[in-house]
Amino acid sequence: MNVLLIGSGGREHALAWKIAQSSLLDSLFVAPGNPGTLRHGRSAEIDPADHKALRSFILEKKIRIVVVGPEGPLVDGLHDRIAEDPKLADVTVIGPKAEGARLEGSKDFAKEFMFRHNIPTAAHRTFVKGQLSDAIEHLDRVNSPYVVKADGLAAGKGVIITNDKKEAVKALRDMLQSGRFGEAGERVVIEQHLKGVECSAFLITDGDAFKMLPAAKDYKRIGNGDSGPNTGGMGAVSPVTFADKDFMQKVHDRVAAPTVRGMKKDGIPYQGFLFMGLMNVNGDPYVIEYNVRLGDPETQAILPRLKSDLLDLFEGIATGTLSERHVDVDDRTAVTIVLASEGYPGEYAKGKSIIGADLVRDAYVFHAGTRNKNDTLVTDGGRVLSVTGIGKDLESAIASAYRAADTISFEGRYRRDDIGKDLVKEPSQRATAAVKH
Ligand code: AMP
Ligand code: GLY
């Protein structure tokens, strides 16, 4: 079977690496991919938003499965355009249509969905343009910290959490009045603040059946000890010590199952991955956000633990037989360290030579912001590479990941020193069993 994968980050390199291991694969194409994905498939020089070009490519290369890595093309209706094209009737898209993608694309839609289907999440109120004074008044009725979110996609910058009411008011003004967040901020959600520890849970679904994938913890802040600004993610660990069997069973029963059922009930066909961003509040899961894709860098930690054939699962989606497929998970631990360019998530230099990325043997190296320049690999983004170490326990996975990461060098290389180390402190909470269903 021929597969087209869309995206260019570390998540997509991990997906390409995993798909390439499948005995069901004939050819893999990645649009646009990166120097890492080139080892597993060919680069496709097409813009997936250009439907005519996409259609020609799919027909010419006899693509059966289109896997969409990032959320943008899904929110933008890529799946809808393929589904509505009679010439592409045999093509399966891994990722929802635009309506299902609203689970990520609109915070208000996601909150209403959760409310309707009784899925635990923070209490909220939504305000639209013209309701600025109502929104400001609402701050008087809730406790700090204030959580103010732009409704639409804002590249991780649309969430303001602050104890300072003035700052919360400014965020509301920026969104509802000054239009600083564009369309994404024309609708604003004010949420109750949840206290707990975060983790990410994942499932794959054909719209009817679903299978849980391994859970992971992401390290979102740039600095050690979760300090400094938010990033796309600076590291990941899977499994998560505090997401033990009991907790994951609750995630399955209270979040995953009602979400898949709810979509079906609402008449919204949903197929592909679903990322449940969760807060563990005293042992109970609350949904912070949904994403309609896998996480980055979580994917780089969870796919190395997935023993099952990913294309077999995709075929289960294509034929509506996911319930008959198996998800087998390696119970060892994976730790992923992101190597970034100094200055990220702000401004950073590009074009620095990368040394040692090809020499790593006992860990996985996934490319993100890299580029080949005259036979040399150079930096080309904020998050440059991610390195995943595997170990029989968390400590050995951390050691393996850092050992490998530190054999790679480039000018201005930055990484966090503490990925996974917060979880080592509580060995009594270590439990890794996967949920069976
Ligand atoms: P979001 O884009 O909705 O995932 O929010 C970004 C980050 O803000 C999350 O990963 C959490 O760390 C934090 N956050 C969002 N909503 C809440 C909430 N209701 N309570 C506490 N923290 C939150
Ligand atoms: N690592 C968080 C995300 O992919 O959204």
Q: How many domains does the chain have?
A: 3
Chain-centroid distance, C-alpha 47: 22
CATH code: domain of residue 183: 3.30.1490.20
Q: Kindly state whether residue 113 falls inside one of the protein's structural domains.
A: no
* 182 and 304 assigned to the same domain: no
> Of the candidates 100, 122, 101, which has an alpha carbon nearest to the alpha carbon of residue 111?
122
Q: Give the model's pLDDT for residue 427.
A: 47
* 245 and 340 assigned to the same domain: yes
Q: Is the CB of 122 under 6 A from ligand 1?
A: yes
Q: Kindly state whether residue 38 falls inside one of the protein's structural domains.
A: yes
Look at the alpha carbons of 319, 324, 325, 327 in this order and tell me if their dihedral is positive or negative.
Answer: positive
Q: Give the model's pLDDT for residue 175.
A: 86
Q: Is the CB of 193 under 6 A from ligand 1?
A: yes
* 405 and 284 assigned to the same domain: yes
d(CA 3, CA 8): 15
- In 282-374, at which residue ranges do the beta strands (DSSP E only) sit? 284-291, 333-341, 364-367, 370-373
d(CA 166, CA 177): 15
d(CA 357, CA 354): 7
Q: Kindly state whether residue 65 falls inside one of the protein's structural domains.
A: yes
Domain termination site, one of 43, 73, 102: 102
User: Which two tokens mark 194?
Assistant: 């949840």
* 384 and 294 assigned to the same domain: yes
Share of the chain above pLDDT 90, in %: 81
DSSP 8-state class, residue 256: I
113-118-122 Cα angle (round to 5): 75
Q: How confident is the model at residue 429 (pLDDT cuts 50, 70, 90)?
A: very low
d(CA 216, CA 201): 7
Q: Give the model's pLDDT for residue 185.
A: 62
Q: Kindly state whether residue 117 falls inside one of the protein's structural domains.
A: no
Q: How far is CA 145 from CA 89, 140, 301, 338, in A?
A: 49, 12, 32, 30
Q: How far is CA 97 from CA 16, 155, 159, in A?
A: 22, 20, 25
* 202 and 164 assigned to the same domain: no
Q: How far is the CA of 316 from the centre of ligand 1 (A)?
A: 33
Which class for 163: exposed (0-12), middle (13-18), buried (19 or more C-beta within 10 A)?
A: exposed
Tell which atom from ligand 1 comes closest to the C-alpha of 158. 2
Q: Give the model's pLDDT for residue 156.
A: 62
Q: Is the CB of 196 under 6 A from ligand 1?
A: no
CATH code: domain of residue 297: 3.30.470.20
Q: Kindly state whether residue 436 falls inside one of the protein's structural domains.
A: no
Q: How far is the CA of 344 from the centre of ligand 2 (A)?
A: 16
Q: Kindly state whether residue 147 falls inside one of the protein's structural domains.
A: yes
CATH code: domain of residue 44: 3.40.50.20
Q: Taking 80 as the threshold, does the pLDDT of residue 435 lie above it?
A: no
Q: Could you read off the pLDDT of 184-211 as tens digits, one per residue?
A: 667 888 999 999 999 999 999 999 999 9
Which amino acid residue places its CA nearest to atom 5 of ligand 2? 295
36: Cβ–Cβ under 8 A, 6 or more apart, which residues? Answer: 13, 16, 17, 365, 366, 367, 370
Q: How confident is the model at residue 96 (pLDDT cuts 50, 70, 90)?
A: very high
* 207 and 165 assigned to the same domain: no
* 346 and 397 assigned to the same domain: yes
* 361 and 295 assigned to the same domain: yes
**Residue 6: domain span:** 2-102
Q: Taking 90 as the threshold, does the pLDDT of residue 183 lie above it?
A: no
User: Which two tokens mark 220?
Assistant: 């979102």
* 383 and 312 assigned to the same domain: yes
Q: How far is the CA of 140 from the centre of ligand 2 (A)?
A: 32
Q: Kindly state whether residue 345 falls inside one of the protein's structural domains.
A: yes
Q: How far is the CA of 137 from the centre of ligand 1 (A)?
A: 22
Which amino acid residue places its CA nearest to atom 3 of ligand 2? 295
User: Which two tokens mark 4?
Assistant: 């087209």
Domain termination site, one of 34, 67, 102: 102
Q: Is the CB of 198 under 6 A from ligand 1?
A: yes
Q: How far is the CA of 159 from the centre of ligand 1 (A)?
A: 7
Which amino acid residue places its CA nearest to atom 4 of ligand 2? 295
Q: Taking 60 as the threshold, does the pLDDT of residue 431 lie above it?
A: no
Q: Is the CB of 67 under 6 A from ligand 1?
A: no
Domain termination site, one of 154, 170, 191: 191
Q: Taking 50 as the threshold, does the pLDDT of residue 283 lie above it?
A: yes
Q: How far is the CA of 123 from the centre of ligand 1 (A)?
A: 13
* 324 and 300 assigned to the same domain: yes
Residue-level length of the chain: 437
Q: How confident is the model at residue 155 (pLDDT cuts 50, 70, 90)?
A: low
* 172 and 207 assigned to the same domain: no
* 176 and 202 assigned to the same domain: no
Which class for 58: exposed (0-12), middle (13-18), buried (19 or more C-beta within 10 A)?
A: buried
Q: How far is the CA of 364 from the centre of ligand 1 (A)?
A: 30
Q: Give the model's pLDDT for residue 433.
A: 38
Q: Kindly state whether residue 127 falls inside one of the protein's structural domains.
A: yes
Q: How confident is the model at residue 426 (pLDDT cuts 50, 70, 90)?
A: low
Chain-centroid distance, C-alpha 37: 18
